[in-house]
Amino acid sequence: MRCVRPMTLKGEEMTRQRYCAIIPMLMVLSMVAPMAGGVEERAMPAQDSANLPAHWIDLSGQPPPLENLIAAAARVAQDTPYWVGYEFALRPGVSVGCDCDSTHRIRFDDGDTIVLPRHRQAGDDTETLTDECDRPFGLFLKTEGNQLEDLSRARVVTWRRASELDEPVVWAGLYDADESIRFLRRAILESAGALAANLTVEVRERLLLAVALHDSELAPEVAFAALDEIEPSKVRENAVMWAATIGGRSAIDRILQLAKHDSNSDVRESSIFWLGQLAGDAATSTLVEIAENDPMSDVRRSAVFALSQSEDDAAIDALIKIVHTHEDPEVIRAALFWLGESGDPRAIELFEELLIGDTEE
């Protein structure tokens, strides 16, 4: 997989620009199967109230049901705003707040970091690698009232980061990953009810990130549901990324349809980008169709970029055909640029043909 388009993380959201180093790390998530069961059977440091920061309020001894978590936390916090935090089982290889491998780290502007898993091939087997950063962490929700609809921020951070918060923190301990996803689904998806419409897009995007990190087979279902046109375009763009990275092969058909037919050009662009990363040979004909026929020039150029990322040998021929036949100068210019980046002998022959032709004229 080639990737030369940058990605940045801006504020609470991931923009459509992408760091190339992150792409293969995200794709690893689609290769990591969730572990069977909900709560991982291990001694959880999060359950030891002696380790909690002094100003935290500990509910982990008798944690309330998740659907009642915000109301229960409000009763003990006694003031707003406050934070309520809990832990869930992470997908294998994911670490929170680890700075030990910057090439596998997503860093947000607020300083929060997620380290994604790495893979190593050992014969016919694929081994999931993780950094030694088994630090206590949690999903922390900043709340302005006593209902889930009162959330104003969401962060997945270590205890150390959370202990720096000025507001009271109510710690609820460890919850089953499937239960956590069902709890968060209502806050992310407008299609799940009226609750999500009351929350900011930034909060919903960070909650969708949290869902993608869960060790649960329910996580891809939430990402797929967030693709629905009833959801805000920013949430949908974000959902395309997570559907591609945790949804496996079942994500391809969904993203193909979005790339070809979605009414929102930003969602089409995001779908085209991830289609180029995810689908390989299967995507080439669709990307060519989009590059030739989409009404938006930006979307056509995105399709050209996605073709340049494809490992399908026919993609180079498709780019060369675009140079010869396309009517949009910007699309032709984009195709020439990515052909130059490819280093393919066919691209060199094209440049020679064009340059010699110009000279002879």
Read off the pLDDT of residues 300-342 as tens digits, 9 standing for 90 and up. Answer: 888 888 888 777 778 888 889 888 888 888 888 888 888 887 7
Helix (H, G, I), strand (E, B) or coil at 56: strand
Cα-trace Rg, the chain: 23
Please tell me the pTM assigned to this model.
0.71
- Alpha-carbon gap, residue 333 to 322, rounded angstroms: 10
Q: What is the pLDDT of residue 97?
A: 77
Q: What is the pLDDT of residue 131?
A: 52
- Alpha-carbon gap, residue 30 to 27, rounded angstroms: 6
Please check the confidence at residue 44 and state whether its pLDDT lies above 50. no
Q: For 137, how many CA atoms within 13 A lie in the half-sphere containing its CB? A: 23
What single-letter amino acid sits at 191?
A: S
pLDDT tens digits for 196-249?
888 999 999 999 999 999 999 999 999 999 999 888 889 999 899 888 888 877
Averaged over 25-42, what is the pLDDT? 49
Averaged over 173-200, what is the pLDDT? 90
The alpha helices in the chain, defined as continuous H runs, are: 22-29, 69-77, 159-162, 177-188, 201-213, 219-225, 233-246, 250-261, 265-278, 284-293, 297-309, 314-325, 329-342, 345-360
- Averaged confidence pLDDT in the chain: 77
Q: What is the pLDDT of residue 10?
A: 38
Query: For strand 113-115 and strand 95-96, is the pairing parallel, antiparallel, or unpaired?
Result: antiparallel
Higher pLDDT, 103 or 165: 165
For residue 331 the two structure tokens come to 């699309």
For residue 30 the two structure tokens come to 């689609």
**Burial tier of 293 (Cβ tally within 10 Å: 0-12, 13-18, 19+):** exposed
Averaged over 10-15, what is the pLDDT? 38
Q: What is the pLDDT of residue 123?
A: 52
**Region for 248 from its dihedrals, namely left if φ exceeds 0, alpha if ψ lies in -120 to 50, beta otherwise:** left
Closest by CA to 7, choosing from 241, 311, 351, 249, is 241
The string of DSSP codes covering 122-179 is ETTEEEEE--S----EEEEEEESSSSGGGEEEEEEEEHHHHTT-SS-EEEEEE--HHH
- Alpha-carbon gap, residue 61 to 50, rounded angstroms: 12
Helix (H, G, I), strand (E, B) or coil at 297: helix
Q: What is the pLDDT of residue 82?
A: 93
- Alpha-carbon gap, residue 95 to 49, rounded angstroms: 22
Confidence of residue 20 (pLDDT cuts 50, 70, 90): very low
Averaged over 250-276, what is the pLDDT? 85
Spans of all domains in the chain = 31-217
Please check the confidence at residue 11 and state whether its pLDDT lies above 50. no
Among 50-64, 92-106, 130-144, 259-273, the minimum mean pLDDT is found in: 92-106
Task: Match 């960070």 to its residue by tokens.
Answer: 206
